[in-house]
C-alpha cells in the first residue's frame, strides 16, 4: 500500500491568469509517475506544499490528461501568496488526490444542474469536462454561475465552448457591475438564476459549490422547487491537516470532510453542528 503521506514532486507547466487574485496552474509529474486516471475523479482534492511555507488543500479543476492536470488557486493568505509568486518550471509537492468526489456515476442518465459561486466553479469544471467527453451518458446540462463582479468570474474564456456542448445552458449573474464594465446577463445573487432555470426535479442531480452562505440559499431555493435532499450534493470546505481522517481538523459532527467528503449529499450533512448550510 502506498504511504498516504508520500509527497510526489510536480512541476508547474503553465500558469493561466483568471482574475486579479486567481490563477490556474497546470501541473505535471516529472519522474514518469503514473497515478491512475480514476484517482483524479471530479470533486476530489490534493494537498500542495512548498517546503518552509506550508501545505493547503486545492480541488482538481480539470481531468487528468497526458499526465497533467489543473488546479485553480485564489490568493488569500501566506501559502497561497507564495504559490502565486511561483513561475512556470518551479517544483511543488503534492499528496493525494483524496476524498469523495461528485456522484458522476450516479448522475448517468439524469439531467445535471451545477450551481457555482465564485471560485466554487473550479471543482465543478471537471464535471463539465467529463460530461462533454461522455455526452450521451447524461441528460441536459444546466450551469448556474455567479460571482461578485464580471471581473471576478473564472474560466470566462471557456464559456462559449461550454455553451456549444449539446443540450447545455450556461446562466450567469453578478452581485454588482462596476461603472464602465459591459454586462449582458443578470444582476443579483446566485439564486436569482432559479427564475429562468429549466431543470426540474423529475430526474436530476444537483451539484453545488461556493461560499457556505450561498449554498444555504441555493439548497433552500431548490427544496422549495421540489428537489429532494438526496438529489442535492454540496462540497464543503474546512481547514485540512492530514487529509486522511487522522487529525480531526476537518471534522463536522461525526463526518470527516477530508475522507467522507468534501462532497456530501445534503441529506447526509443536514443539521450537523458548525454548518451554516
Ligand X SMILES: Cc1cc2nc3c(=O)[nH]c(=O)nc-3n(C[C@H](O)[C@H](O)[C@H](O)COP(=O)(O)OP(=O)(O)OC[C@H]3O[C@@H](n4cnc5c(N)ncnc54)[C@H](O)[C@@H]3O)c2cc1C
Q: Is 242 in the site for ligand FES (CB under 6 A)?
A: yes
Do the Cβ atoms of 189 and 203 come closer than 8 Å? no
Beta-sheet pairing, 141-147 with 111-117: parallel
Beta-sheet pairing, 204-209 with 186-187: unpaired
Q: What is the smallest separation between the CB atom of 97 and ligand X, expressed in angstroms?
A: 10
Q: What is the smallest separation between the CB atom of 222 and ligand X, expressed in angstroms?
A: 22
Which position among 96, 99, 118, 243 is part of the footprint of ligand FES (CB under 6 A)? 243
**Backbone phi and psi for residue 94, each to the nearest 5 degrees, phi listed first:** -130, 140
**The one segment of 143-151, 158-166, 180-188, 240-248 that binds ligand FES by CB under 6 A:** 240-248
Which position among 234, 262, 269, 277 is part of the footprint of ligand X (CB under 6 A)? 262
Binding mask 219-258 for ligand X (x = CB under 6 A): ------------------xx-x------------------
Q: What is the smallest separation between the CB atom of 253 and ligand FES, expressed in angstroms?
A: 13
Q: Is 43 in the site for ligand FES (CB under 6 A)?
A: no
Q: What is the smallest separation between the CB atom of 139 and ligand X, expressed in angstroms?
A: 27
Cis peptide before 201 (omega within 30 of 0): no
Question: Which is nearer to ligand X, 119 or 193 (by Cβ)?
Answer: 119
Residue 272 grid coordinates: 450537523
Which position among 41, 74, 110, 130 is part of the footprint of ligand X (CB under 6 A)? 74
Do the Cβ atoms of 97 and 179 come closer than 8 Å? no
Rg of the chain in Å (alpha carbons): 18
Q: What is the smallest separation between the CB atom of 252 and ligand X, expressed in angstroms?
A: 11
- Name which of residues 100 to 119 contact ligand X (CB under 6 A): 119
Looking up cell 485553480 gives: 72
Do the Cβ atoms of 61 and 70 come closer than 8 Å? yes
Return the one option of ligand X, ligand FES, none that residue 245 interacts with (CB less than 5 to 8 A, by type).
Answer: ligand FES
What is the Cα–Cα distance from 103 to 123, expressed in whole angstroms? 13
What is the Cα–Cα distance from 163 to 110, expressed in whole angstroms? 19
Q: Is 58 in the site for ligand X (CB under 6 A)?
A: yes
**Following DSSP, what letter does each residue of 221-249 receive, concatenated?**
HHHHTT--TTTEEEE-----SSSSSSS-T
Do the Cβ atoms of 61 and 3 come closer than 8 Å? no
Q: What is the smallest separation between the CB atom of 94 and ligand FES, expressed in angstroms?
A: 16
Q: What is the smallest separation between the CB atom of 4 and ligand FES, expressed in angstroms?
A: 11
Q: Is 246 in the site for ligand FES (CB under 6 A)?
A: yes
Q: Is 78 in the site for ligand X (CB under 6 A)?
A: yes
What is the Cα–Cα distance from 249 to 263, expressed in whole angstroms? 17
By CB under 6 A, name the binding residues for ligand FES: 240-243, 245-250, 256, 258
By CB under 6 A, name the binding residues for ligand X: 45, 54, 56-59, 71-74, 76-80, 119, 122, 237-238, 240, 262
Amino acid at each position: 500500500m502506498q504511504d498516504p503521506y508520500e509527497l510526489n514532486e510536480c512541476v508547474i507547466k503553465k500558469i493561466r491568469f483568471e482574475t486579479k487574485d486567481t490563477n490556474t496552474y497546470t501541473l505535471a509529474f516529472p519522474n514518469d509517475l503514473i497515478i491512475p486516471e480514476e484517482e483524479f475523479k471530479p470533486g476530489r482534492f490534493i494537498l500542495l506544499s512548498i517546503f518552509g511555507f506550508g501545505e493547503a488543500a486545492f480541488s482538481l479543476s480539470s481531468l487528468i490528461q497526458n499526465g497533467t492536470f489543473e488546479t485553480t488557486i485564489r490568493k488569500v493568505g501566506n501559502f497561497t501568496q507564495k504559490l502565486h509568486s511561483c513561475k512556470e518550471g518551479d517544483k511543488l509537492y503534492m499528496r493525494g488526490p483524496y476524498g469523495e468526489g461528485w456522484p458522476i456515476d450516479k448522475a448517468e442518465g439524469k439531467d445535471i444542474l451545477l450551481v457555482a459561486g465564485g471560485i466554487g466553479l473550479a471543482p465543478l469544471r471537471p464535471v463539465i469536462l467529463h460530461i462533454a467527453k461522455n455526452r450521451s451518458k447524461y441528460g441536459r446540462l444546466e450551469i448556474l454561475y455567479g460571482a461578485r463582479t464580471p471581473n471576478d468570474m473564472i474560466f470566462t474564456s471557456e464559456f462559449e465552448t461550454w455553451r456549444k456542448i449539446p443540450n447545455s445552458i450556461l446562466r450567469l449573474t453578478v452581485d454588482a457591475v462596476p461603472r464602465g464594465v459591459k454586462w449582458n446577463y443578470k444582476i443579483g445573487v446566485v439564486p436569482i438564476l432559479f427564475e429562468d432555470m429549466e431543470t426540474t426535479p423529475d430526474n436530476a442531480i444537483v451539484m453545488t459549490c461556493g461560499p457556505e452562505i450561498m449554498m444555504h440559499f441555493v439548497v433552500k431555493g431548490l427544496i422549495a422547487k421540489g428537489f429532494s435532499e438526496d438529489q442535492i450534493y454540496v462540497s464543503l470546505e474546512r481547514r485540512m491537516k492530514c487529509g486522511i481522517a487522522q487529525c480531526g481538523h476537518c471534522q463536522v459532527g461525526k463526518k470527516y470532510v477530508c475522507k467522507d467528503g468534501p462532497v456530501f449529499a445534503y441529506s447526509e450533512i443536514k443539521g450537523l453542528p458548525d454548518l451554516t448550510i
